[in-house]
């Protein structure tokens, strides 16, 4: 209840709760009073000629159950949150309970992860237990974007092909998982020139990877590519320090072809990889990073 934006709401909730309990007790008191309303112990109401409403008292079991319920509610509200901002005598909260359970879980798992702390990515990749843990961590935290097979989709990188925006070392992957990434490609149409210049640059970019393109347009676009070289490099091989992709390797994160590249130059793109440093422990990230690293090293590891 600590998120009330005005103290008046806290008072309102507390008052409504207390008055509700008092009203229940008053209703019980009133209903328990037996009043003779007719000589034959009826209320005097008759339906369908002979159907009479009797004036019998409440059953004792129902009466005591009602009382126990009200008393339980009062005790609960005294011990636990429920009366506005009052946190209860025990000081319990769902957030505190969650944090306590997380701490217990981390302490229990610390024993499991302790032996993996000093192991390299290659050593971890050869440990079936570690890879099993990494696979489950990947399924729970990464598969939603990158797919259960880690091959990604449009806008979400394939983690099995060895093409890395920021680098594919264990340390770099762990840093990406911990801090997240934000890749920004600004709209560059104004810097490139006319719409025709943008199309020419798109064809030049296609030529860098040997993809089908218009050769004449590519030649014209080469000079205009200088506006892109600051991030992607003069040869279009990218820059891991900036997360600028390699344009010469036929890996297209946001779509392939002249139309897709023209749209990228005109509109730009912002991609966000959320951080997991607060969600996962450093030991979990270490094992998960090794698992991700191993996905792109399958053929290399198999040969050893």
Q: Domain check: are 176 and 279 in the same one?
A: yes
What average pLDDT does the segment 68-81 reach?
Answer: 91
The string of DSSP letters for 248-296 reads SSS--SS--SHHHHHHHHHH-EEEEE---TTTS-HHHHHHHHHHHHHHT
Cα–chain-centroid distance for residue 199?
38
Burial class (CB in 10 A: 0-12, 13-18, 19+), 134: buried
Number of domains the chain contains: 3
- Interatomic CA distance for residues 144 and 276, integer angstroms: 14
Strand, coil or helix: what is 46? strand
Q: 215-224 vs 195-208: helix axis angle to the nearest 10?
A: 100
- Count Cβ atoms below 10 Å from residue 267 Cβ, excluding itself: 12
Residue 80 has pLDDT above 60, yes or no: yes
Q: Domain check: are 284 and 265 in the same one?
A: no
- Both tokens of 75, joined, read 């005790």
Nearest Cα to Cα of residue 151 among 140, 143, 159 = 159
What average pLDDT does the segment 70-77 reach?
Answer: 92
CA distances from 254 to 31, 157, 236 (A): 71, 9, 16
Domain with 249 in it: 184-273
- Count Cβ atoms below 10 Å from residue 304 Cβ, excluding itself: 8
**Using an 8 Å Cβ cutoff, are 244 and 167 in contact?**
no
pLDDT, tens only, 204-240? 999 999 999 999 999 999 999 999 999 999 999 999 9
pLDDT, tens only, 245-259? 999 998 999 999 999
Q: Domain check: are 127 and 239 in the same one?
A: no
Whole-angstrom Cα Rg for the chain: 34
State the pTM of this model.
0.70
Is 97 a domain residue? no
Within the chain, what is the greatest distance between any pair of CA atoms? 110
Q: Domain check: are 142 and 204 in the same one?
A: no
Residue 181 has pLDDT above 50, yes or no: yes
Residue 162 has pLDDT above 80, yes or no: yes
Q: Domain check: are 253 and 121 in the same one?
A: no
Q: Domain check: are 171 and 278 in the same one?
A: yes
Q: How confident is the model at residue 84 (pLDDT cuts 50, 70, 90)?
A: confident
Q: Domain check: are 269 and 127 in the same one?
A: no
Q: Domain check: are 165 and 236 in the same one?
A: no
Per-residue confidence (pLDDT) for residue 2, from 0 to 100: 53
Q: Which CATH number goes with the domain that contains 246?
A: 1.10.760.10
Q: Domain check: are 269 and 192 in the same one?
A: yes
Find the helix or strand (DSSP H, E) in which 194 lies: none
Residue 122 has pLDDT above 50, yes or no: yes
Per-residue confidence (pLDDT) for residue 303, from 0 to 100: 46
Q: Domain check: are 269 and 200 in the same one?
A: yes
Buried b (16+ CB within 10 A) or exposed e, 164-201: bbbebebebbbbbbbeeeebebeebbeebbeeebbbbb
Is 96 a domain residue? no
Q: Domain check: are 65 and 132 in the same one?
A: no
How far separated are the first and last CA of the chain, in Å rounded?
A: 58
Residue-averaged pLDDT of the chain: 89
């Amino acid at each position: 209840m600590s998120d009330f934006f005005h103290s008046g709401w806290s008072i309102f909730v507390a008052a409504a709760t207390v008055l509700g309990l008092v009203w229940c007790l008053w209703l019980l008191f009133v209903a328990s009073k037996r009043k003779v309303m007719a000589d034959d112990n009826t209320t005097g109401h008759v339906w369908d000629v002979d159907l009479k409403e009797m004036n019998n008292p409440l059953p004792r079991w129902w009466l005591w159950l009602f009382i126990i319920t009200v008393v339980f509610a009062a005790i609960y509200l005294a011990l636990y949150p429920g009366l506005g901002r009052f946190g209860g005598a025990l000081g319990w909260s769902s957030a505190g309970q969650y944090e306590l359970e997380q701490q217990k879980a981390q302490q229990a798992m610390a024993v499991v992860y302790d032996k993996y702390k000093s192991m390299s990515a290659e050593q971890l990749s050869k440990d079936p237990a570690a890879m099993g843990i990494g696979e489950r961590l990947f399924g729970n935290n990464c598969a939603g974007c990158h797919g259960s097979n880690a091959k990604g989709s449009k806008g979400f990188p394939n983690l099995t092909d060895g093409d890395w925006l920021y680098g594919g070392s264990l340390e770099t992957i762990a840093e990406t998982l911990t801090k997240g990434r934000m890749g920004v490609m600004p709209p560059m149409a104004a810097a490139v020139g006319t719409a025709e210049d943008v199309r020419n640059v798109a064809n030049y970019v296609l030529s860098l990877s040997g993809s089908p393109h218009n050769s004449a347009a590519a030649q014209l676009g080469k000079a205009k590519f200088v506006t892109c070289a600051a991030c992607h490099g003069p040869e279009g091989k990218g820059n891991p320090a900036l997360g600028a992709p390699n344009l010469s390797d036929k890996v297209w994160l946001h779509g392939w072809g002249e139309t897709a590249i023209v749209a990228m130059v005109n509109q730009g793109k912002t991609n966000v990889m959320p951080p997991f440093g607060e969600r996962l422990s450093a030991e979990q990230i270490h094992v998960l990073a090794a698992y991700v690293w191993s996905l792109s090293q399958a053929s290399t590891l198999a040969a050893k």
